[in-house]
Amino acid sequence: MTNYIPTVGVEVHVELKTKTKIFSDARNGYGQMANSLTNVVDLGYPGTLPTLNEEVIMLAIRAATILNCNIQRVMHFDRKNYFYPDIPKNFQITQNDTPIGYDGYVEITKENGETKKIFIEEMHIEEDTCKSAHRKDKTLLDFNRAGVPLIEIVTKPCMTSGEEVKLYLEKLRELLSFGDISDCKIEEGSMRADVNVSIRKNERDPLGVKAEIKNIGSISNAKLGVEKEIERQAKLYDNGETFKPQTRRFDDKIGDTVLMRIKETGNDYRYFPEPDIPFVILTDEMIEEAKKGIPMLPDERRRIYVEKGVLEANANKLVQNRTISDFFNTLLEEKTDFKIASNMLLGDISAYLNREEKELNETTLTKERFLELVKFYQEGTITSKNLKEMLDMILESDKTIADIMKEQGIENITDDSEIRNVIKDIIQKNPESVSDFKNGHDRAIKFLMGQVMKETKGKANPRLANDILLEELKS
Amino acid sequence: MKYLNKGISEIHELLKSKRIKPIDLVEEAFDNIESNKDLNAYITLNKESAIQQAKELENKEVDNILFGLPIAVKDNICTNGLRTTCGSHILENFIPIYDATIVEKIKEKNMIIIGKTNMDEFAMGSSSRTSYFGAPKNPWNKEKICGGSSGGSAATIAARDLLFAIGSDTGGSIRQPASYTGIVGLKPTYGRISRYGLVAFASSLDQMGPMTKNVYENAVLLNALVGKDPKDLTSANKEEEDFTRFIGQDIKGMKIAVPNFLMGDIVTDVVKEKIKDTIKILEKNGAMVDYVDVKYLEHAMTLYQIIAMGEASSNLARFDGIRYGFQAENVKNIEDVYLETRGQGFGEEVKRRIMVGSYLLSGENAKIYYNKALSIRDDMRKEFKKVFENYDLIIGPTTVSTAYDLTDPMDDPRKSFMDDVLVIPVNMAGLPGMNIPVGFDKNHMPIGMQIIGNSFEEAKMYQLASFIEKELNLDLTPGGER
Reported as a single tens digit per residue, the pLDDT across A276-335 is 999 999 999 999 999 998 999 999 999 999 999 999 999 999 998 999 999 999 999 999
Q: For residue A158, is pLDDT > 90?
A: yes
Q: Would A244 be classed as within a structural domain?
A: yes
Asked if B126 is an active-site residue, the reply is no
Task: Please tell me the predicted confidence (pLDDT) of residue A413.
Answer: 62
Across the interface, of B100, B203, B366, the residue whose CB is closest to A270 is B366
Please say whether the beta carbons of B431 and B189 come within 8 A. yes
Of the partner residues A266, A272, A277, the one whose CB lies closest to the CB of residue B310? A272
Residue B196 lies in a domain: yes
pLDDT digits (tens, 9 = 90+) for A172-185: 999 999 999 999 99
On whether any CB of chain A is under 8 Å from the CB of B333, the answer is no
List the Cα angle B185/B190/B193 in 5-degree steps: 70
For residue B186, the SS3 value is strand
Partners of B322 on chain A (C-beta within 8 Å) are 85, 141
Q: Which of A208, A215, A276 is nearest to A48 (CA)?
A: A276
Are B175 and B185 within 8 A, CB to CB? yes
Q: What is the pTM of this model?
A: 0.91
CB contact under 8 A, B196 and A268: no
Q: Where are the beta strands (DSSP E) in A91-185?
A: 91-94, 101-109, 115-127, 131-135, 138-142, 149-155
Using a CB–CB cutoff of 8 Å, tell me whether B362 touches chain A.
yes
Q: Give the Cα separation of B426 and B433 in Å (integer).
A: 6
**Can the peptide bond before residue B149 be classed as cis, meaning omega within 30 degrees of 0?**
yes
A460 or B367, higher pLDDT: B367
Distance CA A92, CA A274 (A): 10
Q: Give A388's pLDDT tier (boundaries 50, 70, 90).
A: confident
Question: A448 lies in which domain range?
Answer: 416-474
Contact yes or no for A121/A76 (Cβ under 8 A)? no
Q: Which residue has the higher pLDDT, A26 or A417?
A: A26
Residue A412 has a pLDDT of: 64
Residues of A at the B interface, defined by Cβ within 8 angstroms: 40, 43-52, 79, 81, 83, 85, 88-91, 139, 141, 266, 268, 270-273, 275-278
Average pLDDT, chain B: 96
Identify whether residues A50 and A167 lie together within a single domain: yes
Does the structure show a pLDDT above 70 at B327? yes
* DSSP label of B411: -
Helices (H), B159-265: 175-181, 215-225
How many residue contacts between A and B have a Cβ separation below 8 Å? 100
Per-residue model confidence as pLDDT tens digits over A219-277: 999 999 999 999 999 999 999 999 999 999 999 899 899 999 888 766 789 999 999 99
Spatial separation of the C-alpha atoms in residues A349 and A394, rounded to whole Å? 10
Cα A431 versus chain centre, distance = 61
**Identity at B465, one-letter amino acid code:** A
Find which of B320, B338, B372, B375 to mutate to test the A interface (most A CBs within 10 Å of its CB): B320
Percentage helix, strand, coil for chain A under 3-state DSSP, each rounded to 5: 40, 20, 40
pLDDT for position B481: 46
Q: Given an 8 Å threshold on Cβ–Cβ distance, is A275 in contact with B322?
A: no
What letter represents residue B408's amino acid?
A: D
Q: Is there a contact between A44 and B310 if contact means CB atoms under 8 Å apart?
A: no
Could you tell me which residues are beta bridge partners of residue B115? B45, B72
Is there a contact between B27 and B44 (Cβ–Cβ < 8 Å)? no
DSSP string, B277-317: HHHHHHHHTT-EEEEE--TTGGGHHHHHHHHHHHHHHHHGG
Is B292 part of a structural domain of the chain?
Answer: no
Alpha carbon distances (Å) from A141 to B91, B205, B321, B418, B436: 22, 33, 14, 45, 51
**How is residue A30 annotated by DSSP?**
S
Q: For the residues of B72-91, what is the DSSP string, one character each?
A: EEETTB-BTTB---TT-GGG
> Looking at residue A441, which CATH number applies to its domain?
1.10.10.410
Q: Verify whether the Cβ–Cβ distance A47 to B318 is below 8 Å.
A: no
Contacts of B91 in chain A (CB under 8 A): 46
A114 and A219 co-located in one domain: yes
Coil, strand or helix: which one is B116?
Answer: strand
pLDDT in tens, B28-45: 999 999 999 999 999 999
Provide mean pLDDT across the span A444-463: 79
Q: Is B173 a catalytic residue?
A: yes
CA B422 to chain centre: 15
The answer as to whether B279 is a domain residue is no
Give the three-state DSSP class for A248. strand
Q: Which of B92, B119, B194, B315 should we substitute to test contact with A (largest number of A Cβ atoms within 10 Å)? A: B315
Closest-CA residue of A relative to B315 is: A89
CB-nearest partner of A47 from B100, B230, B366: B100
Which residue from B minimizes the CA distance to A280?
B233
Give residue A266's pLDDT. Answer: 64
Q: Quick one: A270 and A139 in the same domain?
A: yes
As a whole number, mean pLDDT of residues B149-154 equals 98
Assess if residue B28 is contained within a domain.
Answer: yes
- A82 in a domain, yes or no? yes
Contact B196 A45 (CB under 8 A): no
- pLDDT mean over B193-205: 98
Answer whether residue A342 shows pLDDT above 80.
yes
Distance CA A443, CA B218 (A): 108
Contacts 24+ apart (CB under 8 A), B419-422: B419/B126, B419/B127, B419/B147, B419/B172, B419/B176, B420/B126, B420/B171, B420/B172, B420/B176, B420/B301, B420/B304, B421/B266, B421/B300, B421/B301, B422/B172, B422/B262, B422/B267, B422/B396, B422/B397, B422/B398, B422/B450
What is the pLDDT at residue A405?
83
pLDDT reading at A81 higher than 70 = yes
Q: What is the tally of helices (H) and strands (E) in chain A?
A: 16, 16
**How do residues B392-443 score in pLDDT, each as one tens digit?**
999 999 999 999 999 998 887 777 778 999 999 999 999 999 999 999 999 9
CB contact under 8 A, B317 and A90: yes
Mean pLDDT of A22-43: 96
ipTM for the predicted complex: 0.96
Enumerate long-range contacts of A224-227, CB under 8 Å, 24 or more apart: A224/A162, A224/A250, A224/A255, A225/A162, A225/A195, A225/A250, A225/A257, A226/A6, A226/A8, A226/A161, A226/A162, A226/A165, A226/A195, A226/A197, A227/A161, A227/A162
Within-domain flag for A291: no
Judge whether B198 is closer than 8 Å to chain A, CB to CB: yes
Rounded Cα distance, A307 and A294, in Å: 22
User: So what's the pLDDT on residue B147?
Assistant: 96
| A205 and A279 fall within a common domain | yes
Neighboring chain B residues of A91 at a CB cutoff of 8 Å: 314, 317
Residues A308, A360, single domain; the answer is yes
Which pLDDT score is estimated for B127? 95
Averaged pLDDT for residues B282-296: 97
Q: Are residues A455 and A381 in the same domain?
A: no
Task: Round to whole Å and give the CA distance between A317 and A309.
Answer: 14
- B196 and chain A in contact, CB less than 8 A: yes
pLDDT at residue B480 is higher than 90: no
Task: Tell me if B93 is assigned to some domain.
Answer: yes
Chain B partners of A45 at a C-beta cutoff of 8 Å?
A: 96, 98, 323-324
Residue pair A247/A214 in contact (Cβ under 8 Å)? The answer is yes
Q: Has residue B198 been placed in a domain?
A: yes
Q: Is residue B260 domain-resident? A: no
Q: Are residues A32 and A131 in the same domain?
A: yes
Cα B391 to chain center, whole Å? 25
Query: What is the per-residue pLDDT for A142?
Result: 96
pLDDT above 90: residue B208: yes
Average pLDDT rounded to a whole number, residues B331-358: 95
In a 13 Å sphere around the CA of B288, the CA atoms on its Cβ side amount to 7
Nearest to B396 by CA among B295, B279, B311: B279
Could you tell me if A420 and A370 lie in one domain? no
Residue A11 has pLDDT above 50, yes or no: yes
Per-residue confidence (pLDDT) for residue A472, from 0 to 100? 82
Contact A266 B363 (CB under 8 A): yes
Number of domains in chain A: 3
Q: Residue A11: beta bridge partners?
A: A154, A194
Count CB-CB contacts under 10 A for residue B339. Answer: 14
The pLDDT, as a whole number, for residue A60 is 98
The set of residues, in sequence order, having a beta carbon less than 8 Å from that of A92 and lying 6+ positions away, is A79, A80, A82, A126, A127, A129
State the residue range of the domain holding B32.
8-252+404-472
With contact defined as beta carbons under 8 Å apart, do A159 and A118 qualify?
Answer: yes
Taking 70 as the threshold, does the pLDDT of residue B309 lie above it?
Answer: yes
Q: Look at B323 and A43 and tell me if their CB atoms are within 8 Å.
A: yes
Dump pLDDT digits (tens) for A125-150.
Answer: 999 999 999 888 888 999 999 999 99
Q: Point out which residues pair with A116 in neighbouring strands.
A: A108
Which of A89, A141, A272 minimises the CB distance to B366? A272
| DSSP string for residues in A123-136 | EEEEE---EEEEET
Structure confidence at residue B482 (pLDDT): 41
Identify the CATH number of the domain in which residue B449 sits: 3.90.1300.10
The answer to whether residues A235 and A351 belong to one domain is no
Q: What is the pLDDT of residue A465?
A: 80
**A129 belongs to a structural domain:** yes
Q: Average pLDDT in the B97-121 region?
A: 98
Residues 6+ positions from A411 with CB-CB distance below 8 Å: A405, A459
Do residues B184 and B214 lie in contact, with contact meaning Cβ atoms separated by under 8 Å? yes
**Mean pLDDT in residue range A392-411:** 84
Chain-chain contact of A276 with B203 (C-beta, under 8 angstroms): yes
Same domain, A273 and A302: no
Residue B367 appears among annotated catalytic residues: no
Cα B34 from Cα B337, distance rounded (Å): 39
Query: Is pLDDT above 90 for A74?
Result: yes
Considering only CA atoms, which of A143, A129, A123 is closest in space to residue A35? A143
DSSP B33: H
Q: How far is it, in rounded angstroms, from Cα A72 to Cα A123?
A: 10
Q: Are residues A205 and A247 in the same domain?
A: yes
Question: Which one of B98, B237, B371 makes the best mutation probe of the A interface by having the most chain A beta carbons within 10 Å?
Answer: B98
| Whether the predicted pLDDT of B295 surpasses 80 | yes
Mean pLDDT of A106-112: 93
Residue B461 clears pLDDT 90, i.e. is over it: yes
What mean pLDDT is predicted for residues A425-434? 84
Domain identity same for A12 and A130: yes
A25-34, A70-79, A236-245, A263-272: the lowest-pLDDT one = A263-272
pLDDT over 80 (residue B186) = yes
Residue B162 in domain: yes
Catalytic residue among B126, B127, B131, B149, which? B149
* CA angle, residues A89, A91, A94, in degrees to nearest 5: 125
Report pLDDT for A414.
62
- Beta carbons of A285 and A61 less than 8 angstroms apart: no
For residue A341, the model assigns a pLDDT of 94
Note whether B78 contacts A: Cβ–Cβ < 8 A. yes
Number of domains forming the structure of chain B: 1
